[in-house]
């Protein structure tokens, strides 16, 4: 796992409209309620999760994925910027609408993810932004996935939604 200098790259790496989604940010946290840390890459283990993340080893909550496009929609509703690292999601894609149907497959680089469910906005957002941001993120907070095929996940990887 390589550390990333910060989230400044997130806005610079955004794709043009209609472009293929790419990973613009990866975040992990060693434990629940601990700060998320931006990394340039992380190892995704099939059936386990992201190495070094708080959910590694959980039964089905291996990784969370969000779309920067959906995050920006929520930010417009709230009239403020929402930093992808503050949402407590692991992987942020540049663009695209995420399918929330359980069983749907998302491929990111060499990693294959199976959607388990829609991700509810994290209650820790209330501390950072207030309750209205959490409400604006309803149905825009990403998806919870199980890792069905592992490998390296890297900022810049292309995604198939």
Whether 31 has a pLDDT exceeding 80, the answer reads yes
Mean pLDDT, to the nearest integer, of 94-114?
96
Whether 9 has a pLDDT exceeding 70, the answer reads no
Average pLDDT, the chain: 87
Whether 37 has a pLDDT exceeding 90, the answer reads yes
For 49-67, write each residue's pLDDT tens digit. Answer: 999 999 999 998 999 999 9
Whether 120 has a pLDDT exceeding 70, the answer reads yes
Mean pLDDT, to the nearest integer, of 109-136?
82
Q: What is the Cα–Cα distance from 151 to 50, expressed in whole angstroms?
A: 10
* Contacts of 16 by beta carbon, 8 Å cutoff, 6+ apart: none
Whether 119 has a pLDDT exceeding 50, the answer reads yes
What's the pTM?
0.86
Q: What is the Cα–Cα distance from 52 to 42, expressed in whole angstroms?
A: 8
Name the least confident of 4-13, 16-25, 57-66, 86-95.
4-13
Q: What is the Cα–Cα distance from 77 to 1, expressed in whole angstroms?
A: 34
User: Domains along the chain?
Assistant: 2-153 (2.40.33.20)
């Amino acid at each position: 796992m390589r550390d990333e200098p910060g989230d400044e790259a997130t806005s610079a790496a955004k794709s043009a409209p209609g472009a293929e989604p790419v990973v613009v940010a990866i975040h992990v946290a060693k434990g629940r309620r601990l700060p998320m840390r931006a990394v340039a890459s992380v190892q995704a283990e099939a059936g386990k999760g992201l190495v070094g993340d708080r959910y590694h080893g959980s039964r089905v909550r291996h990784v969370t994925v969000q779309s920067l496009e959906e995050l920006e929609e929520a930010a417009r509703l709230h009239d403020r910027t929402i930093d992808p690292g503050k949402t407590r999601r692991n992987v942020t894609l540049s663009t695209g609408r995420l399918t929330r149907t359980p069983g749907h497959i998302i491929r990111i680089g060499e990693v294959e993810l199976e959607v388990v469910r829609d991700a509810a906005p994290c209650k820790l957002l209330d501390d950072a932004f207030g309750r209205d941001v959490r409400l604006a993120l309803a149905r825009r907070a990403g998806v919870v996935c199980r890792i069905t095929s592992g490998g390296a996940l890297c900022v810049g990887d292309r995604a198939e939604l």
